[in-house]
Amino acid sequence: MHQPAVPHLADSDPELAQLVESEAERQFHKIRLIPSENYVSTAVLEATGTVLTNKYSEGYPGRRYYEGQQLIDPIERLAVDRAKTLFGVDHANVQPYSGSPANLAIYLAFCQPGDTVMGMALPMGGHLTHGWNVSATGKWFRAVQYGVRKDTGRVDMDEVRDLARAERPKLIFCGGTAIPRTIDFPAFAEIAREIGAVLVADIAHIAGLIAGGAHPSPVGHAQVISTTTHKTLRGPRGAMLMSDAEHAKAVDKAVFPGLQGGPHNHTTAAIAVTLKEANTEQFRTYAHNIVANARALAEALVERGYDLVSGGTDNHLILVDLTNKGIGGKPAARALDRAGIELNYNTVPFDPRKPFDPSGIRLGTPAITTRGLGVEQMPQIAEWIDRAVRAADEGDGDALDRIAAEVRELLVNYPMPGWA
């Protein structure tokens, strides 16, 4: 049953309640390897389901455009103060609705339409909002894009420096959605400083690793830090912008009134809970275990002949090029889902195939680490992945169903917050 239980929902809308129950059960029985997903705590779930959703509070604590903020103000202050303490930043804004609007606010704060900006290309591992052409950020700004080296699969800092010197972007984004290696914040900072650009570290994927001390921090290197709260940080769907004191005012003005109206106070409360949870020894252990699990899973996949972009991982994420296995990312991901292993198909750098049918799969260990799986289970997961990929290639659906049954058998021993 979903935890917390949803009896009122079941009464008033049984159809919807059934879908929610089934989704909780599905999450329980799957090895969830999508690297941007997680299981939030029951406390975080409870916070998102509170009466705070009833309240309008445009503005910031102490400077609101609506009355009745006696309790909303301390809730938002709690979230802001906890963010500042956890990450060691001068300033935090917890109001962005999600990662993409948070990034849009950064453009609004520091650029005019048509200005030059720089980020990592989407097919190389960047995010849509770092200037990719189908995104508003690629349409309304002149975006130049860097990538990774073909021989190493790692960000090409020489290319970043040369591009920055030639194009003089106002903003440089570092970070992305499919980067299996440590981001060199000091090197980016040196380049940004040389050309007078604002450096933005988009740590959406790795915020939990940074908070838990399992990845270097961008603080002191990037003037502005953007993050979602729902990936490795293990909070509600939302985002935060953090900055040094100099850039604080511009960030706040861009979020409100520049881009958004009323903040989602139930989400703000859940972010506060998340940040408290993240400032514990338990969370630091979780962050380090994510990396240990990813490393063990990567090694086990390499042993089975899988070709990993950059050869391995430093963080929570693994990008596999399936070309040598003779199967596309999409049919592999679909077969793996049937086998109880959930991940996503993904382009790999220099992918000769189309984005909707690319060569790779992307996987990561945050959610399974939250479930309590450890390095000793990683060879088994690699074996299942390998069997499923071969079964997919042979069109053997029964083999996939047999793997799914084995997966379920393992997972019954690993509780999941949100389902009991």
Ligand X SMILES: *Cc1c(COP(=O)(O)O)cnc(C)c1O
Can you give the binding site for ligand X, defined by CB under 6 A?
36, 98-100, 103, 127, 129, 175-177, 202, 204-205, 228
Which helix (H) or strand (E) covers residue 138, if one does?
helix 136-139
Residue closer to ligand X by CB (options 201, 407) is 201
Q: Which of 25, 55, 56, 161 is catalytic?
A: 56
Quick one: tokens of 101? 């609007």
Q: Measured at CB, which residue is nearest to ligand X?
A: 99
Cα distances (Å, whole numbers) of residue 223 to 102, 192, 245, 250, 317: 15, 10, 9, 12, 25
Q: Hey, what are 172's tokens? A: 């440089």
Our answer to whether residue 228 is catalytic in this structure is: yes
Tokens of 37: 């997903």
How far apart CA 112 and CA 200 sit, in angstroms, is 16
- Residues annotated as binding site? 122, 126-128
Is 202 labeled as catalytic in the residue annotation?
Answer: yes
State residue 177 phi and psi, 5-degree precision.
Answer: -115, -10
99/366 with CB nearer ligand X:
99
53 carries an active-site annotation: no
Of 265, 207, 247, the closest CA to residue 108 belongs to: 247
Query: Closest separation between CB of residue 126 and ligand X, Å?
Result: 8
CA–CA gap between residue 199 and residue 218 (Å, rounded): 10
Alpha carbon distance 152, 140 (integer Å): 32
Backbone angles phi, psi at 97, to 5 degrees: -65, -30
- The least CB distance from residue 170 to ligand X, in Å, is 19
Q: State the minimum distance, in angstroms, from the CB of residue 251 to ligand X.
A: 16
Q: Which two tokens stand for residue 386?
A: 């390998």
For the question of residue 129 being annotated catalytic, the response is no
Cβ nearer to ligand X, comparing 208 with 328: 208
**242 or 388: whose CB is closer to ligand X?**
242
Give the nearer residue to ligand X in terms of CB position, either 176 or 208: 176
Beta-carbon neighbour count of residue 413 at 10 Å? 9
Residue number, 202 or 321, with CB nearest to ligand X:
202
Compute the distance between CA of residue 195 and CA of residue 27 in angstroms, rounded to an integer.
47
Q: Is 231 an annotated catalytic residue?
A: yes
Catalytic residue among 202, 252, 277, 342: 202
CA 139 to chain centre: 24
The active-site residue out of 228, 229, 232, 369 is 228
**Which of 25, 46, 58, 244 is an active site residue?**
58
The nearer residue to ligand X, 171 or 391, going by C-beta atoms, is 171
The token pair at 242 is: 């953090």
> Least distance in Å: CB of 123 to ligand X?
14
State the minimum distance, in angstroms, from the CB of residue 161 to ligand X.
21
Q: What pairs with residue 201 in β-bridges? A: 174, 225
To ligand X, the closest distance from the beta carbon of 276 in angstroms equals 21
Give yes or no: 58 in active site.
yes
Rounded least distance, CB 165 to ligand X, Å: 25
Closest CA to 362 of 231, 172, 203: 231
Count how many Cα atoms sit within 13 Å of the Cα of residue 252 in the half-sphere of its side chain: 16
- Write phi, then psi, for 241 (nearest 5 degrees): -115, 130
DSSP state of 197: P
Could you give the CA distance from residue 175 to residue 151 in angstroms, rounded to a whole number? 20
- Sequence ranges of the binding site for (6S)-5,6,7,8-tetrahydrofolate: 122, 126-128
- Residue 389 region by backbone torsions, left for phi larger than 0, else alpha for psi between -120 and 50, else beta: alpha
Positions marked active-site: 56, 58, 202, 228, 231, 237
